[in-house]
């Protein structure tokens, strides 16, 4: 039987892309979508919203009802909404895929708590390539050791509201795991003015914003005699949507727990 998938935030740019990807995916069936109260697309047929034939399901604001009907719900919204949706998933015992970025430590703790009662895939980036890069960065950081400074440079469109990006932070945490150090205690971000010398062993971040850049990330390992740079560039947001649908199909029949794209992609041992 097809996996029944619902989308919260279905009328946004990413929500619509998710909807079209679900409709195109083999083994998946789009069964509804929600938006926030007062949204201009409430009541519109979901198929019409996505530019296809009428679907028979209007866009509603009832996320609780969506969780009751779906096997898996996709969430690329905002942190507060994602936490609320994780709690709904826990109450309904339904699977949830979260691609929202900018979550705080408290937000992530709430999602971990919800995952004790529902299977949840949570990743700051659902793309296959970037998750392979995460595994590679961890290995390189371990192999090169502390004599190489690590700098992470990311660029996104002018509309992005969080920095560093969720993907950049994932890359930094992967590097920290490789080094065997605590990430949050060893970061340098937003340098300005007389900063003093770079702290040995730090993981540096630089965030660039402009234009309509979907996402570019570089991890630089800077040694005294050589620099190694690993780079990923996203050209279409569809890669995030296809990864999210892949995660939804994977997590639909899993036991409660908090999973990552490493689990979805079968990257055994990575990110642990």
Q: Where are the domains of the chain?
A: 3-122+237-265, 128-234
Lowest mean pLDDT among 125-139, 223-237, 257-271: 257-271
Cα-trace Rg, the chain: 19
pTM: 0.81
Predicted local confidence at residue 272, as pLDDT? 53
- In the residue annotation, 85 being an active-site residue is answered as no
From CA 17, how far away is CA 215, in angstroms rounded? 16
pLDDT higher than threshold 80 for residue 104: yes
pLDDT higher than threshold 70 for residue 85: yes
Residue in 24, 23, 17 with CA at minimum distance from that of residue 56? 23
**CATH number attached to the domain at 3-122+237-265:** 3.40.50.720
- Topology annotation, domain 128-234: Dihydrodipicolinate Reductase; domain 2 (3.30.360)
- In the residue annotation, 156 being an active-site residue is answered as yes
Predicted local confidence at residue 41, as pLDDT? 96
Residue in 39, 87, 160, 183 annotated catalytic: 160
From CA 255, how far away is CA 237, in angstroms rounded? 29
Residue in 94, 156, 217, 232 annotated catalytic: 156
């Amino acid at each position: 039987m097809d996996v029944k998938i619902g989308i919260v935030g279905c009328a946004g740019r990413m929500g619509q892309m998710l909807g079209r990807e679900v409709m195109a995916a083999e083994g998946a069936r789009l069964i509804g979508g929600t938006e926030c109260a007062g949204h201009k697309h409430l009541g519109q047929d979901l198929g019409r919203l996505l530019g296809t034939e009428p679907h028979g399901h209007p866009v509603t604001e009832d996320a609780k009802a969506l969780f009751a009907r779906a096997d898996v719900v996709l969430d690329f919204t905002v942190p507060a909404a994602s936490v609320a949706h994780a709690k709904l998933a826990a109450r309904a015992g339904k699977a949830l895929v979260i691609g929202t970025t900018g979550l705080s430590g408290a937000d992530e703790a709430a999602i971990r708590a919800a995952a004790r009662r529902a299977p949840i895939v949570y990743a700051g980036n659902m793309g296959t390539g970037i998750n392979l890069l995460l595994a590679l960065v961890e290995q390189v950081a371990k192999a090169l050791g502390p004599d190489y400074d690590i700098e992470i440079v990311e660029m996104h469109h002018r509309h992005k509201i969080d920095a560093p990006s969720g993907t950049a932070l994932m890359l930094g945490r992967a590097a920290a795991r490789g080094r065997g150090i605590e990430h949050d205690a060893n970061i340098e971000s937003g340098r300005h003015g007389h900063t003093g010398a770079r702290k040995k062993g730090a993981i540096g971040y630089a965030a660039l914003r402009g234009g309509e850049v979907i996402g570019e990330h570089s991890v630089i390992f800077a040694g005294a005699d050589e620099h190694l740079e690993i780079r990923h560039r996203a050209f279409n947001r569809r890669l995030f949507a296809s990864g999210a649908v892949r995660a939804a199909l994977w997590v639909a029949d899993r036991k409660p727990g908090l999973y990552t794209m490493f689990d979805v992609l079968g990257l055994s041992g990575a990110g642990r």
